[in-house]
Structure 1
Amino acid sequence: MTDTMDAITADRALKAKHRAMWGLGDYPSVARDLIPELGRVLVAAAGVRRGERVLDVAAGTGNAAVPAALTGAEVVASDLTPELFTAGREFAASQGAQLTWEEGDAEALPYPDASFDVVLSCVGVMFAPHHQKAADELARVCRPGGRIGLISWTPEGFVGEMFRTMKPYAPPPPPGAQPPPLWGDEQHVRQLLGDRVTDVVARRQIVTTGGWTSPDAWRDHWKSVYGPTIATYRNIAGAPERVAALDRDLAALAGRYDRGNGTTVLDWEYLLLTARRA
């Protein structure tokens, strides 16, 4: 009994930490300015249609939920960090979309089995620390014959490399937590979902980001808007030499990927995966 209570307490503390992390910086600007097309890509790939009931897991500000709602679907945007919903509602209103916003943990979704025709997550569920729990929930709330659609950063792409670059400077992960970019590995996702899905289609695609004057400018922008990067810098705030080292490492990473001419342009690889619930 004591072990169970300890596990529950630890999980609550971890989720509180994750909620706070995604409330740092300005994630709404990342979704709006850098990766707005990803939600539309996911909704199209999943074939969302008018009248379907759709759940966007770890929805953030509604990158996928809003375009799903614009098809005429009945959409619920669920996220562990409801502080993001204010920007999400503003985004939805600007697009003329109507949907429901509800707080929810991707590892323990507050919905009955087989509640949705389509379950989506756009670079969202990949950040749930316990991958199997999250995958189990995606499958559980999707009705038989329904569809699951996911976009996740790949381990080999720019964002995957960024997380590897930050890892030596970040707090150690909690026991049992897995790296987020593993969701960008097709075989990993297939193993997580197992025989609960059929008709798996997976392909790697690129979203191009840009507008920074230099790799240093990208780093300075990113460390001010992106929660995981802000949290990493806070972890080493008392060690100026480590802050300087991380500054160099992130700028060097952006420099290796930069294909711009006069401005920094970066290609970020992601895995687009769709499947049908068996």
Structure 2
Amino acid sequence: MTSTAATSTTTSTAPVTATPEDRALKQKHAAMWAFGDYVAVADELVGSLGEALVAAVGVRDDQRVLDVAAGSGAAALPAARTGADVVATDLTPELVEVGRRRSQAEGLTIDWRTADAEALPFADAEHDVVLSCIGVMFAPHHQLAADELVRVLAPGGRLGVLSWTPAGFIGQMFAAMKPFAPAPPPGASPAPLWGDLDHVRGLLGGRVERLEAQQATLRVDHFASGAEFRDYFKANYGPTIAVYRSLAEQPERAAELDAALADLGDRHLTDGVMEWEYLLVTAHRA
């Protein structure tokens, strides 16, 4: 659908999960993605992935589209440019506000909401298309998040999820940080598992059909060295910042992580270019 009047609204709903521990975890996650400058990461490194996801799903102007864990709008904005009726949600209010301002600046009508991917504030089958671009993968309880993606999708509607793979560069970065990070809470799953096709098939089960998947890489030519990559992520990327903050009283361990991340970056640089692997999955709700 198209609109002649550009408007943008923001609605907040508190994350709703089963236990106080889960609610505390969601508050921690929301704060983590406000560390540093994720908007810079999206703009300078990964923003094109949203356009790739919207194109793969084939968003049209007559569709009701939901972008889950939308960040600052990498997928929501190109979806809205098609004329579709778009709602975008994210757990982090600061990112929602950036996305709201950007859609207004472009004259796009997007309904921005602060919401938990594991407890979406929508009725069953409310959307024709549900998207998530390197977003829902970071919800800690994968099955809950997958259940919500399917629940709010209309029968025959199209689902599109793009995630970093475990074996790709970002998956390896998380593996490198894991020994230095606090232990995850019980029941939380590693984010890059959303980039494993068998895992995604298991999450969605028989509730979807015509599932298709493609592995591809994002070309990143932003860094001249592994140390430059490390320093950029230390300054801008919430999960990396959170790990370093946990090592504030352990300078020797922080130095070990410095070396590990710089080495990882150097091993993946070829003539100033990195290739970051991702998995793009599309399916229709049965």
Normalising by structure 1, we get a TM-score of 0.95
The structure in which a higher percent of residues are helix is: 1
* Alpha-carbon displacement from aligned partner over 1:167-186 (angstroms, at most 9, x marks no partner): 00111000000000000001
45, 53, 64: which one pairs with 2:75?
64
The aligned counterpart of 2:258 is 247
Are the counterparts in 1 of residues 30 and 92 from structure 2 also a CA contact under 8 Å? yes
Name the % identity: 59
* Alpha-carbon displacement from aligned partner over 1:66-116 (angstroms, at most 9, x marks no partner): 000000000000011111123212332444422110011000001000000
* Alpha-carbon displacement from aligned partner over 1:22-64 (angstroms, at most 9, x marks no partner): 1101001111111111011100111110021000000010100
The aligned counterpart of 1:182 is 193
Cα distance in structure 1, aligned partners of 2:105 and 2:123: 31
For 1:112-151, list aligned pairs within 5 A. Answer: 112-151=123-162
The aligned counterpart of 1:28 is 39
Displacement, 1:237? 1.1
The aligned counterpart of 1:170 is 181
- When residues 33 and 94 of structure 1 are mapped into structure 2, their CA distance, relative to the original with a 3 A threshold, is farther
Cα distance in structure 1, aligned partners of 2:79 and 2:151: 20
119, 123, 126: which one pairs with 1:108?
119
Displacement, 1:203? 0.7
User: What amino acid maps onto 2:112 in structure 1?
Assistant: W
The aligned counterpart of 1:270 is 278
User: What amino acid maps onto 2:277 in structure 1?
Assistant: E
The aligned counterpart of 2:228 is 217
The aligned counterpart of 2:84 is 73
60, 63, 86: which one pairs with 1:49?
60
Displacement, 1:266? 1.2
For 1:155-166, list aligned pairs within 5 A. Answer: 155-166=166-177
Cα distance in structure 1, aligned partners of 2:217 and 2:106: 25
Normalising by structure 2, we get a TM-score of 0.92
Cα distance in structure 2, aligned partners of 1:22 and 1:116: 26
Cα distance in structure 1, aligned partners of 2:260 and 2:276: 18
Cα distance in structure 2, aligned partners of 1:82 and 1:259: 37
For 1:6-21, list aligned pairs within 5 A. Answer: 8-21=19-32
* Alpha-carbon displacement from aligned partner over 1:147-171 (angstroms, at most 9, x marks no partner): 0000000000000000000000111
Moved over 3 A (4+): 93-96
Cα distance in structure 2, aligned partners of 1:207 and 1:100: 29
The aligned counterpart of 2:3 is none
* C-alpha RMSD of the superposition: 1.2
Are the counterparts in 1 of residues 89 and 96 from structure 2 also a CA contact under 8 Å? no
20, 38, 58: which one pairs with 2:49?
38
User: What amino acid maps onto 1:253 in structure 2?
Assistant: L
Displacement, 1:7? 5.3
Displacement, 1:215? 1.2
Cα distance in structure 2, aligned partners of 1:65 and 1:71: 10
Tell me the SS of whatever aligns to 2:27.
Answer: helix
Tell me the SS of whatever aligns to 1:67.
Answer: helix
* Alpha-carbon displacement from aligned partner over 1:200-248 (angstroms, at most 9, x marks no partner): 0101011111222321111101110000000000011111100100000
Tell me the SS of whatever aligns to 2:273.
Answer: strand
Q: Does residue 226 in structure 1 map to residue 241 in structure 2?
A: no
Cα distance in structure 2, aligned partners of 1:211 and 1:155: 22
Displacement, 1:8? 1.5
Number of aligned positions between the proteins: 270
The aligned counterpart of 1:3 is none
Cα distance in structure 1, aligned partners of 2:262 and 2:160: 33
